[in-house]
Amino acid sequence: MNMHVGTSRSQHFRARSLLAFVLEPSRPFADWLAELDAWLARSPAFFLSKPVILELAGLDIGLEDYRDLLRDLALRHIRVMAVENPNRMLVGPHLPPAVTGGRPVEAPLAPEPDAPPGDAPTKTKTPSSLMVDAHVRSGQSIVHSEGDVTIVGRVASGAEIVAGGSVHVYGALQGRVIAGVSGAPGARIFCTEGRPEMLCIGGAYLTAEDMDPKAEGRRLEARLDGDKLAIRILN
């Protein structure tokens, strides 16, 4: 007697971590959306194809206003993948799911090798770095949340660099650079020829319109000075 044994196929499930941008809406929403529009005017493609989470902790918002807010964000090509800390009315079919356990991306800390147990960590682990030995063309976006990014070439207008640490551009910088998304306050931006559309570290940013004309085309360093972005001419 012949027996036919069918082959079984098992499902494969994987876990994957990724960098998500968090928006924290505040009232009045019209003012908050106006500020968002001002940002998007300077960097229109910033949220395109990027996961976005809404932080709703402490926000008093009803279901109707919430749906209107999601609609207003969608009209700006911002698709909300999930929400943190919503009230029960804001979770259900056809609404973004609630997520928990999210935390700011930070450089992990490790104690000194000879530090006694229980001592506070004092040294950061060395983050990875990304080297791009090519020009970054208009429309391209390079995101590396684990450490520094070095570009050996030009960053064209309309291009975007997002780094967990510092950004070094050995060439003309004409696009947008966002450094320090890992939460590193000491992140910096360097370039050999500064003509950026936007520079941003830790939420503080400058656009081309905000920059001193004397800095155009010069070798530059950008760093946080308190809650503002400071530009230093290096040559």
Closest CA to 19 of 146, 180, 199: 146
Q: Please report the pLDDT score of residue 111 as a whole number.
A: 34
Structure tokens at 213: 């004309």
Write out the residue range of the structural domain in which residue 194 sits.
126-233
95 and 132 fall within a common domain: no
Domain identity same for 166 and 215: yes
**Total domains, the chain:** 2
29 located within any domain: yes
DSSP-assigned states of every residue in 53-121: EEE-TT----HHHHHHHHHHHHHTT--EEEEES--GGG-STTSPPEE---------EE--TTPPTTPPP
- The encoded tokens of residue 161 equal 């660099």
- Whichever domain contains 165, its CATH number is 2.160.20.70
3-state secondary structure of 176: strand
Dihedral of alpha carbons 163, 84, 53, 223, sign: negative
- 3 found inside a domain: no
What's residue 21's pLDDT?
A: 81
Please tell me the predicted confidence (pLDDT) of residue 118.
Answer: 41
Convert the pLDDT of each residue in 102-159 to its tens digit: 655 543 333 333 334 344 344 444 458 999 999 999 988 898 988 999 999 999 998 9
| Spans of the chain, pLDDT less than 50 | 1, 3, 106-126
User: Which of 83, 99, 115 delimits the end of a domain?
Assistant: 99
The whole-number pLDDT of residue 104 equals 57
pLDDT at 146: 84
Residues 71, 72, 74, 75, CA torsion sign = positive
In this prediction, residue 128 carries a pLDDT of 83
Task: Please check whether residues 157 and 202 belong to one and the same domain.
Answer: yes
Q: What is the pLDDT of residue 16?
A: 64
166 and 81 inside one domain: no
pLDDT at 177: 94
